[in-house]
Amino acid sequence: MKVVAFNGSPRKDGNTSMLIRNVLGVLEALGIETETVQVGGKQLRGCVACFRCMENKNRHCAVDKDMLNDCIDRMLSADGIILGSPVYFSCMTPEIKALIDRAGMVSRANDMMFRRKVGAAVVAARRAGAVHTFDSINHFFTIGEMIIPGANYWNMGFGREKGEVENDAEGLGIMKTLGENMAWLLKKIAG
């Protein structure tokens, strides 16, 4: 059983990364393999609306010049997917949006290929926009027939400078609960 997490912050070891690591730590302690993929700050362009994925139906984006198809392969090989993003102007980063738009369209072209995988959003913010970002990322999971575990709050942590989120005890507690519930759900689905 495996969970792949995508860090959409260009700050590789920043607050989003720390929140993700807290969830993955719980998953690993409960026997689930994890992997993190850095997408923030990487070449990952938006959807060009060519709709060739609808013709090709090969589980890949027709624009094969960046890391998108590698991300798709990692999503397909995992049972659970975490999309982590800092809040940028009250929403997700462009890299996470590009991943959602392109992987989401390829999924629709291929009979909802992420159906019944478990999905979770993780959000780091300084002050505002975390709920909006959390909701926006969740749209990817819900339209893709995926299953979302809850936590004891919406999955967010607060901090501005790198590492400040470690001072948000409530945020870290949410990540722990999310990890526990994600593991529980993954094991139930696996039967």
| Contacts to ligand FMN by CB under 6 A | 9, 11, 14-17, 86-90, 124-129, 159-160, 162
Is residue 82 within 8 A of residue 37, CB to CB? The reply is no
In the bound complex, what is the minimum distance in angstroms from residue 93's beta carbon to ligand FMN? 8
**Nearest residue (CB) to ligand FMN, 44 versus 124:** 124
Distance of alpha carbon 156 from alpha carbon 170, whole angstroms: 9
- What are the CA-CA distances from residue 131 to residues 12, 22, 81, 110, 147 (Å)? 22, 19, 19, 30, 19
**Nearest residue (CB) to ligand FMN, 57 versus 160:** 160
Q: Where are the alpha helices (DSSP H) in the chain?
A: 15-29, 52-56, 68-77, 94-109, 130-143, 169-190
**Nearest residue (CB) to ligand FMN, 61 versus 121:** 121
**Nearest residue (CB) to ligand FMN, 17 versus 138:** 17
Distance of alpha carbon 178 from alpha carbon 151, whole angstroms: 5
In the bound complex, what is the minimum distance in angstroms from residue 10's beta carbon to ligand FMN? 7
Judged by phi (left if over 0) then psi (alpha if -120 to 50, else beta), residue 41 lies in left
In the bound complex, what is the minimum distance in angstroms from residue 4's beta carbon to ligand FMN? 18
In the bound complex, what is the minimum distance in angstroms from residue 5's beta carbon to ligand FMN? 13
Residue nearest to ligand FMN (CB): 14
**Nearest residue (CB) to ligand FMN, 64 versus 89:** 89
Judged by phi (left if over 0) then psi (alpha if -120 to 50, else beta), residue 50 lies in alpha
In the bound complex, what is the minimum distance in angstroms from residue 46's beta carbon to ligand FMN? 17
Distance of alpha carbon 115 from alpha carbon 182, whole angstroms: 16
**Nearest residue (CB) to ligand FMN, 9 versus 138:** 9
In the bound complex, what is the minimum distance in angstroms from residue 36's beta carbon to ligand FMN? 13
